[in-house]
Chains A and B, each alone.
Chain A
Amino acid sequence: MDRLLARFAQEVDTAVEIVTIYEKAGIQKELVDEEYFLSLQSTHPSSAWFERKIHDDFGLKIAKGYDNRPFWQHETMPSITAMKKSFQATSQIERSTTPQPYRYKTIKGEGVFQVSVGPIHAGIIEPGHFHFSQAGEQILHLDIRHGYKYRGIEKMCEGKSLDALFPLLSRVSGNESIAYQIALYQLKEQALKKEITPNLTHAILLELERLVHHCTDIGFIPNDAGFGAALSMASLLAEESKRILFTLTQSRFGFESIGKDIALQHKKNELQTYIDKMNSEIQWFENWIMDIPSLWDRLDTTGILTAKQALLYDTVGVVARASGLKLDRRDSSFYRHYGYALQREKKGDVAARFILRIKEIKNSLKIIENMLNDVTEYQIIEEKTYHDGEYLSYVESSIGELMMYLKLKEGVVERLFIRDPSFINWQVLHLMMPRDIIADFPLINKSCDLSYAGADL
């Protein structure tokens, strides 16, 4: 089956066009001349959220879909078709006094009850809503609702020049800031009709970002199983990684660092010291954590996603690779030259995602070390003559494949569509639940560690 990458709509003159992007078949377009468009949900379940977003963006109805609820138009938000050109981004909207109740998908029956969690959760975490149907401790179904952080980013980008977008896109999803910037940078290169050449400085920063994210996760996953010592140990590694990012880019998250000369060639010693330290620390961490049977009792066989399910739902990134799929945008001769090897696991449970992260940390350290030898002066692009057209870019962020679609018209952004890896992966999370109890939910959720901000935009 051809993998579905994205589905969205855009205005062409006065008509609305649905754009569907597949891995092999590429970009498919169809003009909508009715009030509705045909759903793909029966063959690609992951098209559901894309289509729900199209519904909110342009007010089109979803025909023959099993899920046609609003996405970012919450109860008190009036019906606006925000992505139509006639709608101004700066317009003020009034809160509706007749809220439309949201229909949660639930399982009903004798003794079955509902547990609502969120949008504000019991930790330092982003807002989202989880609606469980429970039979005692057993999870029967989980319905996930997002859109709380909807900031209208795609609309905000329209009418702007590409260079003006870097500060904003740096701050869409803090965990993936560098990936977002590289994706934008690649769009810029294409619009300048330059050949996309792999850039060592960018690649090193991207791996550092992955290290921050993965190191945070290998602490938080055991922590959610009640093993706090792992969080203390792993958070030290995450802190070291943030500090080296700060040394290189003057921002602990690498905000606004792509496209600028950060003179990496003069900071090789600092990076080498960091890598040596990390190599020994992660080895110690692995040896130690593999020896804690009570922890593995919780991680093994929890939250299983089979390869078949992962494929059906078009999942990407860590989630897909932990279920055995060979899917990584870094899988190229350029990366392989520097020691990259596609890491994957077969079991698809929390343990597999945990082990995969440790493996990827080790591989990233190796990649950075090898790349470091070849880093030379950074070439800043000075040209500003952008060519109109449609461009696509892909970057493997710490979560998974990030995709951006850009339509440039008269030198400014006509439409920018961002497909965060989380947007796809969130839709498969409920399949990991039915064999587990509600107390396992935080553990499963953390093992995927998806971005809320990236999914909401």
Chain B
Amino acid sequence: MIRFDAVTKRYPDGTVAVDSLELTAASGQITVLVGPSGCGKTTSLRMINRMIEPTSGTIWLDDTDTASMATHELRRQIGYVIQHAGLFPHRTIVDNIATVPFLLGTDKKEARKTALELLERVGLPPHFAKRYPAQLSGGQQQRVGVARALAADPPVMLMDEPFSAVDPVVREQLQDEFLRLQQELGKTIVFVTHDIDEAIKLGDQVAVLRVGGHLAQLASPVELLSRPIDAFVAGFVGRDRGYRALGFTTAGTLSTRGEPTVTLGAAIPKGTDTDTWLLVVDAQQAPQGWLDLGADFTGHETVSDELLYRGGTLATQGGTLRAALDACLSSPSGRGVVVDDGGALIGSVTAREVLELIEARETERQP
């Protein structure tokens, strides 16, 4: 547990970066600090491992006042990941990861063995161990950065915009893997980002800070979306928040209707139905896309890949309302495809049905 007790950072020129912050980051949870530039989120983070010293107030690490510890001792107990990974270019990947164990005097062989395990854990192949950071892509370097922070198995991790320097696709991968990793490890994590979507995706609780270092709201992501405390938070949380909040509500069991299908590679059925869209599945009943029966099939005998419309997303039975609604809205036929956990087709729902479900939820919540 990390507890900020009336922590203030005032610079000699009078600028107040953080103003009597009261905040508790619960053990085993991800606390995200989010806010616009200059809101003091990074300053707050860096005060935890005393890269920046607070002007007043106390930061408690469990029952220890962090100010009472030697800085290097404190920092060895706290993993730290920064934006560009900050790897040491003159050291191999495995030695980069083993930096803190080396400092703690762990046997070199032992430390490298642990480092190799961590390399695998963050999803990198073992032959990367002997490479140098410059030989890795940005996303790979960031994974190494995370592995390095985990190397001494610290109970606490600080992450300063770790995923903001990589492209959106890689960022999403890293976020997903980070969540998976956190499920296994259960570290106490304080995570700084300027990206509210990232905050909502990753945080168990989200602290929104406003410029001048004031805590505007501390809440769970769903609460933040549904009940922003003031105009600033509402503005920062941004548009689409109603839609995004659906991502936190499970749809329950959707009552689907059966969907006629054709198997990939089978003969193209002649237009018998009034409805022009036919769902195509593979041999395992996994939906592949839609076939437009009104189209011109000259030169095609069977249902092949290039005839498919693949625009529709899939909703999982037991998934969120957001995924269900999105499946309907993105489907060319207007029918959202619902699959089971194995990816096999269950049936379809319409947007109207999902909306009815949402309305039913609303009436339940507000009697």
Are A and B part of the same complex? no
